[in-house]
Copies of this chain bind each other. A is one copy, B any other.
Amino acid sequence: MAEKETGRVEAFSDGVFAIAITLLILEIKVPKLSHDISPAALAAALLDLWPSYVAFLLSFFAILIMWINHHGLFNMVRRVNPGFLYANGFLLLLVSFVPFPTALLAEYLDGRAVNAAAVFYCGTFILISIGYNLIWQCMVSGDLLQHGISDTHIRKITLAYRYGMAVYATSTVVALFNGYVGLGMNLSLWVLWAILGYKPSNAS
């Protein structure tokens, strides 16, 4: 019963992840130019969309990493409780929110207000990181973990999540002064997770 419960929550979460990641493309708008525009002018207009491509790539990568991570957490869960479910709901709220800061970045990445857009974007990931910390705390304190996971391993994961939150907080502050550097810090963290995250010993 508990197993079935976990499976259904996981399937619903996967649905939200899959839809949010696929909706990102709606943010890239086809340039509406005159019907008589030359191929070269259209090519130039397509190049001018680079902020949209960057925002799309960034957020696709972020949601993919988050999905893999979410999956790793659910593999460690033996059963669910209300706190866990609401922490997970809070995380899904934020995952489904990601297309908005992404579209914001696409619009302002090459404008004067880039820092404000980047602060908003990085700030969203502080909230996401709080979501993961809440889920993890529910898992540890609510005795939801699979048996046989060592305390050392638990402590390592706790630290990793706190570290993530610290990076996002820092990148948000940095983005106040230089949006590109702030975004670059987020990206570095995701690359790091992508490299670390799938060692079999961590993932299962």
Contact = CB atoms under 8 A, between A and B. Distances in A.
Decide if the interface of chain A is mainly helix, strand, loop or mixed: helix
A5 to B, nearest CB: 8
Among A24, A111, A114, max chain B CB count under 10 A is at A111
A35 B110 CA distance: 8
Contacts of A89: 64
A154 interface: no
A85 interface: yes
Nearest to A105: B30
A74 to B, nearest CB: 9
Nearest to A89: B64
A-B interface, 4 closest residue pairs, ranked by CB to CB distance from nearest:
A15-B18, A39-B116, A82-B198, A42-B113
A25 interface: yes
Contacts of A108: 42
Interface stretch (A94-102, A125-133, A164-172): A94-102
